[in-house]
Every structure is written in structure tokens, then in C-alpha cells.
Chain A
């Protein structure tokens, strides 16, 4: 599905809030914007809708898969607070992309811990296709990991 996750990669990560260092590169992954993925997100989720370019819903999906690889799982009980996407030139279906993920920020506010992931999708020529940020309420906070 565009970016394969090996069966050995855990579903849920044990990475605690204290592990994150702002600016740190968490990982990179290569993916393909394949027709199955693109068509399943061009209309109602899961209904095949033909499309020539990657619809916006493709990017959160590939980002989450890349984040799971980078963190060896996704946070158990994490909550999405905000999602930002800046679009470059549309990506044709079949395009190869490289996804890089950094720690954009990590902070505590009103008793909740937030981790911001900053990510980029670059095409095969190295051009920026999409940049974005995901703000997540992290399950644990400072000193709890």
C-alpha cells in the first residue's frame, strides 16, 4: 500500500515524551503513490475513484506509515490535535517519494504534552511535493517516560 510495513514493526510505540529532541531527524522512508492508494482516497474513503494525481488524503496515510516505521509503532492513546499541509506541484499517480520526519516541537500546555512532527515529501527529483506538521497529544508527559 505505497509504503510497506514489515510484520515485525510493532503497532504501538513505547517511545516516551522525554525522548524527543526538537530538530532531530526521526527517519526517512521511500514510498510509491500507487493507483490503489490514490484511488481509494480520491473519493469516499475506500471507494475506488480514478485519479491522475495524488489526492490530499494520501499524505496523512503515508506520513502515518512512515512515522510508525520511524518510532517502531504509533502512540497508544495519542490524539491528533492539528494537521497542516503545504502543497507543491501535484504528484502523479505512480510517483516515488521520500518522506522525512523531524521533531518540530515538544511542549506541555495546560497539563497535556504535545509532540509536533514536521515532515516533507520529496519527489524523485528532490523537489518538495508536500510539507506539513502534525501536532499530537502524547500519551505521557515530561518525566513520565
Chain B
């Protein structure tokens, strides 16, 4: 684990990726995979599954931790604020870090190419894991 901030990671999103994730998760919600149905929704078109947008954060967290998985005791809280759409590029950036006591708390954002925050993430990592 590092004192450095979370590394910035980008995840480009397209419909092919969304369809592949649908196959992976078995999630064929029309909002994700049916352009005609999604066009009639409040979103006006398909949107990615939430975890697709979160993948940039997951990759960043694991790279930063130096292991293959988050350290035991890590907590992740992701709030989905805006849809991720085909054509978006999602990047993850650390915004704030608070060290103290038994935990290191990290606030991060997944933003799209227009710098709009699509996912707000708070992670707590045990200080002992550092």
C-alpha cells in the first residue's frame, strides 16, 4: 500500500462492453441492452450497469493497495449519481483522504469525460493494512 493518492484509471464505455457485462452478470435489464426500450425511459437511451462505471475505482483501489484484492477490512460505499452512457470514458480520482485512528478514509469520484461526477465513492481501509 502506498502513501500516494489512488492512481487515476480510465474505463472507456461502449455498448459492446455493456452487452458483454450483461452476459457476464446475466443482467438483461432493457435499460442496459435494449436501445428502443431505453430510448423511451427517463434516460433517453441505454445506460451501463452500475458496476461497469465502478470498475475504474475498483482497479484503482487494487493497484494502490499493491495486492490482487482489497485488504481485509476494506469498506467501499458507492453512490450512483448520474448514468454512465455508451461513449463515456469514466475515470477515477481521489478527492480527499483522512488518516487517523484505525482507518484511512478515502473519498473518490468516478467522473465522465465532461467532468461530471457519475459515482461518489467512500472507502475505508484498515490502517494496519498500510
**Nearest CB to that of B25 among chain A residues?**
A64
B115 within 8 A of A: no
- Please provide the 5 A-B residue pairs with the shortest distance between their CB atoms, ordered closest to farther: A80-B50, A90-B69, A60-B51, A53-B68, A64-B25
Roughly how many angstroms separate A12 CA and B27 CA in the complex, as a whole number?
8
26 contacts between A and B (CB under 8 A): A1-B24, A11-B26, A41-B58, A42-B62, A44-B59, A45-B21, A51-B68, A55-B58, A55-B69, A56-B61, A56-B76, A57-B51, A60-B51, A61-B24, A61-B51, A65-B25, A74-B27, A77-B30, A77-B31, A79-B31, A82-B78, A83-B50, A83-B80, A84-B78, A87-B72, A88-B73
Roughly how many angstroms separate A1 CA and B23 CA in the complex, as a whole number?
9
B65-79 Cβ-contact flags toward A at 8 Å (1 or 0): 001111111111111
Collect the chain A residues with CB atoms within 8 Å of residue B73's CB: 87-88
Q: Are B29 and A77 in contact (CB under 8 A)?
A: yes
Roughly how many angstroms separate A85 CA and B73 CA in the complex, as a whole number?
10
**Smallest distance from the beta carbon of B76 to chain A beta carbons, Å?**
5
Chain A binding surface SS class = loop
Q: Are B28 and A12 in contact (CB under 8 A)?
A: yes
A54-71 Cβ-contact flags toward B at 8 Å (1 or 0): 111100110011001000
B1-43 Cβ-contact flags toward A at 8 Å (1 or 0): 0000000000100000100110011111111000000000100
A145 within 8 A of B: no
Q: Are A75 and B29 in contact (CB under 8 A)?
A: yes
**Smallest distance from the beta carbon of B33 to chain A beta carbons, Å?**
9
Collect the chain A residues with CB atoms within 8 Å of residue B17's CB: 45-46
